[in-house]
Each structure stands twice: as structure tokens, then as C-alpha cells.
A = this chain, B = another copy of it.
Amino acid sequence: MKKTSLKDIAQKAGVSTALVSYVLNGKEKETRVGEVIAKKVREIAKELNYQPNHLAKSLRSGKTHTIGLIIADISNPFFANIARVVEDEAKRNGYTVIIGSCDENADKSWDLLNVLINRQVDGFIIVSCEGSENQIQYLKERNVPFVLLDRHFPDIQTDFVATNNYKASYDAGIHLIKSGYERIGLIAYKSDMYHMVERIRGYKHALSDNHIEFDDNWLKEVIFETTERDVKIAIDEILATDHKVDALIFATYGLAINGLRYINELRLKVPSDLAIVSFGQAEVFDLYYCPITYLRQPLELLGKTSVEYLLKKLKNPDEGMKQILMEAKLIARDSTMAKSAWLTE
């Protein structure tokens, strides 16, 4: 049983397909279709359970009502969740989302981009990965609508929806300091990406604002591809120095997972041996024997806003540039318990 098309309806009603199209698109008024025949057409359409053919529509209109979502790393639950939000929000607006993960690899990202452009998505929402600036430039030049999500490039003027990473990181530092920790380490990725740079900057600023002299050995920047090994080395080093830290900030979820795993291995006690704050969010942080303090980014809002911006741009390509930084909220848990509390225990 084939799907019913405009033609089928037209035939059954004894009219042209044009007429049917007008009626079903609510253009009866402008095109002065007779009431009687309009009603008839609508009835037949319902009777035959007519569903317009998306492909034909898209081919004609050049609009696919599809959004391409490129995510730097879908295995990170933060991104996985944001993908869900984007998908839901898009669906609410009649859009379909095609998701692709580039696994923090610019080449893969480029491939994805091309596949999706080829599929004629109407626009993109992108969580960029390192080395993909040229891709963003390319989209700009070709006038493809897009919104950057969570990560953006300060040197490229684009729409974006992101978190104030400087502030978040700064807050993490302040929180630790207020809780009585003074020798605070940061494990981050070695990266030129702005969000990472900002996280490092915020951390350093929190120290300097509190007259704590930053020690070079406290900051470890690891390579994404060799995270597991590098994190172990980083922790070994950070604990071996003369300036051994008493608190540690993980700049991402992935770093935290690897770090905590190693900390368990070393049988270090959180927070007495080491206080912990992490970026990202996930059930792990709840279930760890000592629940982990983390920075909660406004996931829902980030996702929804990015869709909102993109759809606005799709409706009106001349819409002005939109950029917004949202605040993360530090959720304090036992992993950063006030030092006084466990010292006297």
C-alpha cells in the first residue's frame, strides 16, 4: 500500500493538485477556493490519512526542517544530556535533529559537517572541538546558519550560547579557599580552546585574589588522547612536589572520572587527603563515597537557548548576532567539606 499523495486526493475529488495544495496549506482565502470543494478536499485528505512528503517539500522549498547537532564528545554525560534537550526543544518546534559526535577530533568534525551539509540541514548547533576554527569560518563564509554551544572562539564573531567558565572556575577556587584549603591544584586539558583557557584563568585569579601564590606544579595540562595515563602522572606529580596540594579541581568530567579512579587506587581519602571540585555533572558525583562538589551548568537553558537562537536565525537570516554567557552554580558537597570540620572529627 503506497502512501497517499496530493495526486490521489486530487483524483478522488476530481480537482487539480494545485487546488488540493492550496487547501491543505490554508491558502484557500488568498487563492479563493470554493468553500464546498475545500471542505471536500479536507475530508478526503483526512479519510486517506494524507501525510505530505517531506522530501518533495524540502526539495521544492530548500528547507528540510532539520538541524545538525555536532557534539565534541557525546560520551560525556553533560553533552549527552544537552543533546537530549536540544532534540526535545527542536521537536517541539517541528524540527528534527541529526546528532553527530566528533570525539574531539577536528577531521571527524569536518566529515560530519559535510555529511550534514549534504543532507541539507537548515542549520547547525555546534559544540566545537579543538582545531575546528576553519570549519566555523567556512560556515560563516558560506552563510550557513549556526550557533555555537558551550564552547566558542573569541576571535571569531559568531552567535554563541555558553557558560561563563572564568567565573565558574573562579568560584570553585574561592569555595575551596573559604573551606580552608590553600594549596589548590588544577587538572585541565592542554588546549587552546577558550573555555579551557578561561577555566585556568579563573582558577589562577581566585588564588591571586586571596594572596595565594600560584605554584607552577599545581597546574597540570593533559592530552585528550592519553587522558588515562596523563591524569595518573599528573596526580603523582601534583602530590609529590614540595608544595603538595590539599585540594584539586578537575576541569572536566572526563578528567574527574580518571582522576577519581586513580585516587581510589591510591587509597587517598576525600576530602581529608584531597578535597575535590569538578566541572561537569553526573550520577557518579552523587554516588561517590564522598559526594563530589561540582559546577552545575544550566544545561536545559543552554540547550533551549541555542535552539531558540538558531530557529530565530532560520526565520530571519538578518537577525542580529546573539551571544550569551550563562552562570554555572557551584553545588557544594562533602568533597569540599570545611577543613575545620574534619580536622576536629
Contacts and interface: CB of A to CB of B under 8 A. Distances in A.
Interface of A: 1, 51, 53-56, 58-59, 64, 74-75, 77, 80-81, 84, 87, 91, 96-101, 115, 118-120, 142, 257, 260-261, 264, 282-284, 286-289
Given A55-B59, A288-B288, 11 more contacts: A54-B119, A74-B80, A74-B84, A80-B80, A87-B101, A96-B119, A97-B98, A257-B283, A257-B287, A261-B286, A289-B289
Contacts of A54: 118-120
A118 B289 contact: no
B142 A1 contact: yes
A55 B53 contact: no
A70 to B, nearest CB: 12
A334 B77 CA distance: 25
Given A115-B96, A284-B287, A287-B288, A64 B55 contact: yes
Nearest to A94: B115
Given A55-B59, A75-B81, A264 B284 contact: no
A55 B142 CA distance: 20
Contacts of A81: 75
A75 B64 contact: no
A120 B261 contact: no
Nearest to A289: B289
Contacts of A101: 84, 87
Contacts of A289: 264, 288-289
A118 B51 contact: yes
A260 B283 CA distance: 11
A56 B287 CA distance: 51
Contacts of A1: 142
11 contacts: A51-B118, A53-B120, A55-B55, A55-B64, A59-B59, A74-B84, A80-B80, A87-B100, A96-B115, A283-B284, A288-B288
